[in-house]
Amino acid sequence: MTRPSVARIDLDALRHNARHLQALHGGRQLAVLKADAYGHGAVDCARALRGLSDGLAVAFVDEARALRAAGLTAPILVLEGAFDADEVTFAAAASLWLVVHQDRQLHLIEQASLPDGALQVWLKVDSGMHRAGFAPERARELHQRLQADPRVGSVTLMSHFARADEPGCDLTARQTALFEQATAGLPGPRSLCNSAGVLAWPSAHRDWARPGIALYGADPLLRPQGCGLRPVMTLASQVFAERWLAPGEPLGCGTGFTATEPTRVGLVALGYADGYPRTAPTGTPVAVEGRRSRLIGRVSMDMLTVDLTGLPDAGIGSPVELWGAQIPVNEVAGLAGTLAYELLCNVKRVPRHGVGYATRA
């Protein structure tokens, strides 16, 4: 028997989410597939989204290179832009779209020898994130400069939200207003919304949406009742051994858990080396045989332990879901002190099994 731990990727759920977000935002959609599609497998996800999204987005040129090598022909936006002249040349040759967010990248483009109209550029304006992007006062001048450059075929104006996942925070409205003011009258399409913007800020919807996390079914607003999205990844395994703990007996490494009553423990062959967070405490929900139970004790590198005490039918071979449709990844992330983003893109070592759309014969 091979280790039963697996990350199942439901590509039909991915397609459902893309359609749902498209219906909310309208216009065109770039599916954000950076970090290997947040741990879901960028090539499979890109193939599943063919015909549903108008383009793809990744963080780095190397990520785009891998998608091109796999035969994907959709437009790909490189969100952090080019790092050197070779990347600019490659971008033009491979029809990648480049974000430009700093002067160095502007100079790389202006010094490149490229055919006329070879580069599609997204000019990033810093409307309040204060991380990457040009000061809003420079948007007009830079837009004109790029439009006048013969190498540049088109310029899209973009900005990124810092706190769109907080519906009560007025920063998003202020960022939108500042972006509007800085780009008023300039021609060309615009793009503001990440997932939270699409879900919570209709006033910020523009020509292009850039959803990431919501495509994978995790609500960035952490609403307990869900939001019409379906989880794409199920991190699952099976109980592979069991034992009883007598009252007073500690479990596993360190001081995570000591039984206060007779406790039946199931061992699961999946640990923090697979990306399950070591910071998840005793009590973090898991599903065993389709019923909610809890993690007990410390998560080890290759193993974790679940409570089978109230589940007399469960035993060796019982299916265990760590997150997925029964256990929202947001719930695990919250208890582990992190976000679904980090948990999903940290999944490794377990085999990834695509199910649904792109895997059917």
Ligand X SMILES: *Cc1c(COP(=O)(O)O)cnc(C)c1O
Positions at the binding site for substrate: 131, 301
Report the nearest approach of ligand X to the CB of residue 315 (Å): 39
Q: Confirm if 281 and 314 have CB atoms less than 8 A apart.
A: no
User: Least CB distance from residue 214 to ligand X, whole Å?
Assistant: 6
- The span from the CA of 149 to the CA of 134, in Å, is 18
- Compute φ and ψ for 299, nearest 5 degrees: -75, 125
82 near ligand X (CB under 6 A): no
- The smaller minimum CB distance to ligand X, of residues 9 and 32, is found at 32
Among 82-90, 105-113, 213-221, 296-304, the segment contacting ligand X (CB under 6 A): 213-221
Cβ-based nearer residue to ligand X, 213 or 288: 213
Letters for 14-53 (x = contact with ligand X by CB under 6 A, - = none) are ------------------x-x-------------------
Q: Which CB, 31 or 251, lies closer to ligand X?
A: 31
Sole binder of ligand X in the list 39, 211, 217, 354 (CB under 6 A): 211
Kindly tell me which of 32 and 322 has the beta carbon lying closer to ligand X: 32
Binding span for ligand X by CB under 6 A among 86-94, 115-123, 190-198, 273-281: 190-198
Closest CB 159 distance from ligand X, rounded Å: 9
> Nearest distance from residue 335's CB to ligand X, in Å?
21
Pick out residues in 148-167 that bind ligand X (CB under 6 A). 160
Candidate residues 29, 53, 194, 234; the one interacting with ligand X per rule CB under 6 A: 194
Task: Collect all residues with Cβ–Cβ distance below 8 Å to 129 and sequence separation of at least 6.
Answer: 159, 160, 161, 162, 175
Q: Which of 56, 79, 239, 280 binds ligand X (CB under 6 A)?
A: 79
Q: Which residues fall in the annotated binding site?
A: 131, 301
Q: How far is the CB of 322 from ligand X (least distance, A)?
A: 21
Tokens of 310: 């109230």
- Catalytic residue status for 348: no
Q: Which residue's beta carbon is nearest to the bound ligand X?
A: 212
CB of 96 to ligand X, least distance (A): 15
Question: Stretches 20-28, 41-49, 194-202, 251-259: which one binds ligand X (CB under 6 A)?
Answer: 194-202
Q: Which member of 16, 25, 34, 160 is catalytic?
A: 34
Q: With contacts defined by CB under 6 A, how many residues of the chain interact with ligand X?
A: 13
Angle of CA points 269, 9, 241, to nearest 5°: 15
List the catalytic residues.
Answer: 34
| Residues lying near ligand X in the complex (CB under 6 A) | 32, 34, 79, 160, 194-196, 210-214, 220
